[in-house]
Amino acid sequence: MSKIERCIANPSLEVLVKIANFLNVP
């Protein structure tokens, strides 16, 4: 179960970081 959660969490975190970086860029 942990593996599945990691597989789901990793892409989600990457997307959140990309969105945050995109919003931070003027």
18 or 5, higher pLDDT: 18
The confidence score (pLDDT) of residue 1 equals: 59
Tell me the CA distances in angstroms from 16 to 1, 26, one per residue in order.
22, 17
Give dist(CA 6, CA 2) in Å, integer.
6
Helix residue ranges per DSSP H, the chain: 2-24
Query: pLDDT category, 3, cuts 50, 70, 90?
Result: confident
How far is residue 20's CA from residue 6's CA, in Å, rounded to a whole number? 20
9 or 14, higher pLDDT: 14
